[in-house]
Amino acid sequence: GRAPVTVIGLGLMGQALAGAFLREGHPTTVWNRTAAKAEHLVARGATFTDSVGDAVAASPLVVVCVSDYDAVHELLDPLGEVLDGRVVVNLTSGTSRVARETAEWAAKRGADYLDGAILAVPQAIGTADAIILYSGPRSAFDLHEPALRSLAAGTTYLGEDHGLSSLYDVAVLSLMWNILNGFLQAAALLGAAGVDAATFAPMAKTGIGIVADWVAAYAQQIDDGTYAALDSTIDTHVAAMEHLVHESEALGVNAELPRFIKALTDRAVAGGHGGSGYAAMIEQFRTPSEVR
């Protein structure tokens, strides 16, 4: 049969995680502060325990998904030796520093610790669309990978450093927010000229796809530290950015993002990269200096 698993925390995400384990036939023990959230899972075969300790004791694999790390510690700190020998997989969102601290905390209690980050909404858990990232000891991941695969087709091990999953999480979110802000800025610009966002949407999708196709070659340049202009130079980009700033100002939409993008790029030109490709902009992101 399938390996027994425990899920602690049955918020929107925890319920989806427990549901996916049940769907794949894992004997699933659950615990939540608000017991009512377990009812439909119990109806599907889950076992609800009265205490967190009993839930931890029920399975070698313990998945925790609560609001934040303070809640994780509030729940697990009071437990005694029950954590000893278990694999704790913490899918609560946080920072890499706190993930590393929690790994040290778990080691003192004899638990193997994997930190994870969920790049999916609850509805996607258990489907091909879900990505969950893991970092920590490879042996613990390998041991429980079959069970963890019930949660996400995109079950991805990043490395031994416990901080990696949280760091990837914010890195991917940063990427997504930048793409979304670019879309919203473009939609505002076109909207000011009477173009519906829905009319623009197909072209926005095409534009995002074009940029997606550039990523691999730019990544190679970033890693090599050489920025030959494969398509256009930064000088050419700056001229177009100037048009964007002027259009934004003329249409009376927010020009902060266009100005910021241009200011960053102006600095790259000042640093001698006018003839380089856009990947040379990496240097503006590597250092903490502020645009003045």
The footprint of ligand NDP (CB under 6 A) covers 9-14, 32-34, 37, 65-67, 71, 74-75, 92-93, 118, 121-122
User: How far is the C-alpha of 183 from the C-alpha of 207, rounded, in Å?
Assistant: 10
Measured between alpha carbons, how far is residue 46 from residues 27, 212, 231, 234 in Å? Answer: 7, 42, 56, 58
Whole-number minimum distance, CB 93 to ligand NDP, in Å? 3
Helix axes 234-251, 164-192, angle to 10 degrees: 50
34 vs 289 by CB, closer to ligand NDP: 34
17 vs 253 by CB, closer to ligand NDP: 17
Q: Dihedrals φ, ψ of 137, to 5°? A: -60, 130
Whole-number minimum distance, CB 164 to ligand NDP, in Å? 16
Whole-number minimum distance, CB 74 to ligand NDP, in Å? 5
18 vs 261 by CB, closer to ligand NDP: 18
Instruction: Extract the tokens encoding 281.
Output: 């902009």
136 vs 277 by CB, closer to ligand NDP: 136
Q: In sequence order, which residues have a C-beta less than 8 Å from that of residue 80 and are 6 or more positions away?
A: 53
Beta strand segments in the chain, E: 5-8, 28-31, 47-48, 61-64, 87-90, 112-119, 131-135, 154-159
What's the 3-state SS for 228-276? CCCCCCHHHHHHHHHHHHHHHHHHCCCCHHHHHHHHHHHHHHHHHHCCC
Whole-number minimum distance, CB 118 to ligand NDP, in Å? 4
Cβ atoms of 266 and 282 within 8 Å: the answer is no
4 vs 122 by CB, closer to ligand NDP: 122
67 vs 199 by CB, closer to ligand NDP: 67
13 vs 99 by CB, closer to ligand NDP: 13
Whole-number minimum distance, CB 288 to ligand NDP, in Å? 26
User: How far is the C-alpha of 82 from the C-alpha of 62, rounded, in Å?
Assistant: 11
Whole-number minimum distance, CB 5 to ligand NDP, in Å? 17
User: How far is the C-alpha of 1 from the C-alpha of 264, rounded, in Å?
Assistant: 57
Least Cα distance to 44 among 78, 98, 7, 94 occurs for: 7
Whole-number minimum distance, CB 70 to ligand NDP, in Å? 7
User: How far is the C-alpha of 65 from the C-alpha of 83, rounded, in Å?
Assistant: 16
User: How far is the C-alpha of 57 from the C-alpha of 290, rounded, in Å?
Assistant: 51
Q: What angle do CA 129, 155, 3 make, to 5 degrees?
A: 115
Report the residue number whose CB is nearest to ligand NDP: 11
9 vs 258 by CB, closer to ligand NDP: 9
Whole-number minimum distance, CB 174 to ligand NDP, in Å? 15
